[in-house]
Each structure stands twice: as structure tokens, then as C-alpha cells.
Structure 1
Amino acid sequence: MDSYNFLSASTNLCEMEAHRAEVKFKEGCPSITCIDNPTILPKKNKKGGPVWGLGGVIDKDGAFIEESAHLNGWSQFGGAYEYDKTSTEFINEDVIWGGVFIKHWGHFIVDFMTRVWLPALYKTDKKLVYVANEKDFIDGNFSELLLLMGINTERLIKVTVPTSFKSVTIPALSFKKSDYYFQEFSLTFKKAVNSIDASFFQKYKYRKVYFSRTNLKDAKRKEVGEKLIEKSFQKAGFDIVQPEKLNVIEQICLWNTATEIACLNGTIPLNIPISNRKDLKVLVLNKSSRPHENLIWLETVFDRRITYIDVYDPLLTNKKRSLGKGPFIMFVTRNLSNYFSQQNVDIAPTNTTKIIVLRTSFLWLYSINTFNPLVKKLKRALNKFFGSTF
């Protein structure tokens, strides 16, 4: 089945194919850079600076080590800044630079994991040093995935104040968006999957799974209509699963035993690295005509071919709308109905009356999302002008 048979005219097929061709396999192994007596600067946001802030590794003379920056598509981090040198802490250890950690599963997969290949694939007792926003730590499912790669929480150091070390080893990125990938990037995930005992997989076999976002608070604030789509997949014999309720091992088991997985475009399909099954059928439902570059690049890296199905309302969906922001409106489109028909499942497109109700809900949601930021801006302006709280 062609991956693009179920796209509307608003979705740019040529643009999607161009993204697939952007990332190339690179022979050899990613390089490493070793620095003696370094200081690691914690993450510091700066207006007009990199989107993920300043910070990273500087040498004993205070020069920023460019190899510690994260320059991966629009994900930009790194740079030196002034700090109180008298407050610098010292840890007498040789460590590995893990980079900047953003507490978002998609960025964990496509950004943070790009340096993990060194401690995951090569024998070393060195700890992994990272920086992050003040309240963010590598825990929960994030630390669980690292544990499956052989990196336990005792080997993680979050730098919160300027800290000097005996030495730091900086692994180069094993995957760079729209550019290249080394085999180390995929081998890191493969190690995690292979570390799970085979008995864990037994109860998950041969299922068709629809990963739903309907219970997420974030989705309720910016998405309208997924319930209709969820019901259509349930009628087609799919089990409805809320991925946020699963731990990493449960998710890996599903991604490696299911015969078919369907989900909305966004973070969920970025889990294809944790699946070793080349024959897994993945259906990604587009809630916008905007291509998801990260996912398309991962298709190339992991040698997959996703079937994309447009479920968005072309009348009210703007291509410029970020997949992470919204708001989005979706329903059982003619494209989705045609897909089910090819699977010998009779599911009609959403009728006009329901679409009108959805559009009304969407416009209300859109007005709230537009109005609230304006109110916040007005409050900030009034507080600044009058010097009091409104």
C-alpha cells in the first residue's frame, strides 16, 4: 500500500519526500572530544539567545567548547556567559557530556539520545553529565529508558551551578536533523529493546493498537474531534490505549508485538526507534498539512515506511500552525474512510451536522487560545506601567 494514498491536496507530498532524502547514513563512528579541567555551565535562558539557552562546556581558560553545543535543526543550545568564578564547585571525576535535557519525550528521543551512544554502547563507568531547566530532572520514563541502555540513575549528574571536573568526554551527535546519522543512533535504542526479557512480550502479541490523546489535559486544550476518530478505530478492531499510562517497558512491548499501530501525528509516532519490528504497520493521522520533519527523518534512519492519513479539517487548519501548539480540528475524513474501506471495514465519514458542531467548538477553543495570551500581555504591560499587580 502506498504511504501517501490517503492525503488531501493541501498536504505537500513533494515536500515530505524531500525531507526523507535530506538525512544520509554516515560511515564510521561519531567523534569524541576530551577536555581536561573543564567547567560545565548550567542552562541559562537569554532573550535573543539560542532557543534552549546558554551553557555547556568551557575550558580552563574560559573558552567555550563548540563541540558541547547542541545545534540540531531549530533545537539550539550552547554558549558561555559571565558567572561568579568564586562559587564554582569541583567534582574530582572524569565524566561524559550528555548535553541539554528538555523534559519532552519527543526531544528526548531526537535530541538528547544523540550523545547517549558512548555510555550505552561502550564499556565505561564514567557518569553522564547534563543540564536542564531548574525544575527538570531525568526521571520516570526518561530514566527508565536510559536504564535499559545500561545507564542507571546513580550515573546521572545534573549540573545546577558552574561545576569543574577532572575531565569531560564530549561525544559528537550520532544523529543530526536534515543532515546525517550514524549506526550508533539506532543501535542505542536496539540495545534497550533487546535488554527486556522475552517473557514480558508474550501478553502483548498480535494486537492492533490505537494510541489515544483524548485523556491528556494538553490535548483537551487544543484538539477537537479525536473521540470520533478513536471510535472509528475501535470499530475497526483496534485496542484503545493511553500511552501516558504505560511505563517504558510496556510501551516497548507494544511497539514490538503489535501488528498495527495508529496515532495522531506528533510525539507518539516518534517512538518508532523503540521498535525492532520492520513489518510493523504504522498509521499516522495528520492533524495538519504541515510535515513533521522529525518523524520523516526517523523513517529514513530506521528504514520504515509510515502510512499517512489526513484527518484534519482543511477549512480551519493552517499549515503554519505548529504541531506542538494547535489548536486542531479533526474528524473521520473521506481519506480515513477510504483507508478503512481498503481494509474491508465500513466506516462512513463524519456527517455534516457533526462537523458543524466540531467547527463551533474549535472556533471557541481558538478564540480562548488567542484571547488568553493577549490578556497576559496586557497584565504585564499594566504591571510594568503602574508598578502594581492587576
Structure 2
Amino acid sequence: ESSYGALMDSAFVATNLYAGTAVELYHQPGVSSTYETASGVTQAKEYDRDLVFLRLLYGFDYALGEQVAIGLDADYLAEVGANGDSLLLRGGQTGFLFRPNLTVRVYRDADSGTQLALIGHGSFGAGIRAVPQGMLAALSDAIDSIADDPSGARSQCLAAGDLDCALGDGASVGDATKLTRRRYGGGGTAVWAQAMGRVLGFQVALGAEGARENISTALAGDVGATQVAAHAGFAPALNFAPSFPLGLTLEYRVELNHSRYSGNATVGIRDGAQTLGVNHRLGGGAYYTGRRDLLLGWTAGVAFLQDVDSSVIEAAASRATTLGGEPMEQPRAIVGSAQFEMRYFF
């Protein structure tokens, strides 16, 4: 049972309820934010993108006999910038992801300890982000009309801090700083589980997913992307029960992510612009395995991400223009994580 890891789907078919809480610290040094202003002047800024994530994770799997299980995973995410530049340019967000899934065990040999399962899933998510830089962009666009207002009322509104009044024409600072995101897709994974004696076992997974994501802002309109991802993972595990109620896991996962964008002249992305990123994730955990119906664990991990799509979010939120029509390639991000989780079996 300690083979239920944090980075991979499991080959096992069992009715269970899952809950977990995770904290992640994201650091991407030397991020370059380069754009053109409305007057055609090129601006450049380099900063360290530091973010904090809180995730609430829930899941329920229901076994329809010994071969098939259906389930639903739910993931709530809260994110906030962890330094001044990240707060200004990246802001903060909340979002959710639902992942219905179907697990079919296609092969099991009790004598050899071998299992093979196929897992299909859907993916439906949405979120909202507030980016303070959007307020500055909206004021920059409106500053000439504020100054030219013959009544002077809009200038008085600006001096009083009433930004909605200063922007005029029914504009809203809230809309200017808001970015919404929607994502839907699906995919599948094949998982091979192998027991090697009473204590040691491992799982190997291969999978792929396709998705469509749409980012919408009042400043830049819509930015759409078609995403295709493939992943592979390996997870050895030790379970010392019943001699000692302890399970240990180690996980490695590699991901290949490809995005193809729809054109957006305001953001400066040409139609068909593409990004390709390779991510590496490593995790390990310790679990209490003293009861057959309960699994309690703590996991920690580190990830090295080629997070090439993050600059698109900042460009869409600020009306910045990515030069040359291509999303800018950035340094790798490092993410450290810690997670506490509980899984109860019925």
C-alpha cells in the first residue's frame, strides 16, 4: 500500500479515500521580462521569480470488483508571489482541477507478483489570477485622456485614488488586474507493478495527455494553447509491515511538455508559436503502515522545471509584447515541496 506515491498513478484497484496538503516553494533566478511599449521603446527587466503554492488534494476511488475502479481527484491551488517583483508581475491566483479517472487491471499474476493496469482520465480546471501590473498598464493607456479631460474631474479622481472613476468609460481596475484561465483535456497511463519479495516492490509508468488551455484578460484578450505532454516514472518502495509499521518510497518522473499557441497581436505571440519543456521531478516519502485500512505519510520532493509558459501569463496580464512573436525562453525553475497525506481503505 505504500506504493501509492505522489508523482505517479498506482496500478492497484481498491476502494479508498484520499486527502493531502502540500506546500511548494518555487524559485526561478534571472527571469528576463522584455517587451515593447506603446511608443515602440524596448524595455527589459530581470528579476528572481519566487512563488509560494498551497495545494489541497482530495481523491476517491471505488472498486467495481477486482479488475475495475472509477475515481475522482480534486486539486485546489493557491499561489502568491514571494518577493516584490513577483507580486507585481505575477500576482497571485486561486484555481481548481478535477480529474475523473477509470482504472482497469488488465493482468495480474499472484505467483510472480506482477500487475499491469491501464488508467484513463479527464482533466477539467479553471482559475483566476490578480496581477497588480495590469493596473499600471490600464493607467498608462488612460493617462493622456485623463490629462485632456476639460472638466478636470478625472484628474481629481486620480488624485483622490478613485481609479475606476479616473479610467472612465466604465473601465474597472478589477478587470484590468484579472486574468482567468480554463483548461480541459484527457489522457492515459500504463502502470506496471512488480513485487520482489515481501518487502520490496516497484512501479513503472508511461503516459500522455492532451489539453486545451485558454487565458483571458481585459487588456490583451484571449490567448489559447494546445498542449501535449508525455511522462515516464519509476517508483521503488519498501514496506516493513508487519514486522515494523513503516513504508518508504522513492519516485522519479520525467515530463515532456509541448504547447502550440494561437496568435495574439497584443501579447505579441504569432499564430503557431511553440514551446517545448522538459521537467524532472524527484520525491521520497515515509508512511505508517501498521493498519491495513489506513496509510499516513509525509513526502518531500524537488523538481527542476523548464517553465517556458510562465512568461506568456505575465505578457497577457500586462500587455507586454514578447519580441519576435515567440514566448521567451527562461532559466530553469527549482521547486521544493513537502506534503502530508492520508489514505483510508474500505
Q: Which has the higher strand share?
A: 2
Higher helix share: 1
TM-score w.r.t. structure 2 length?
0.18
- With the length of structure 1 as denominator, give the TM-score of the two structures: 0.16
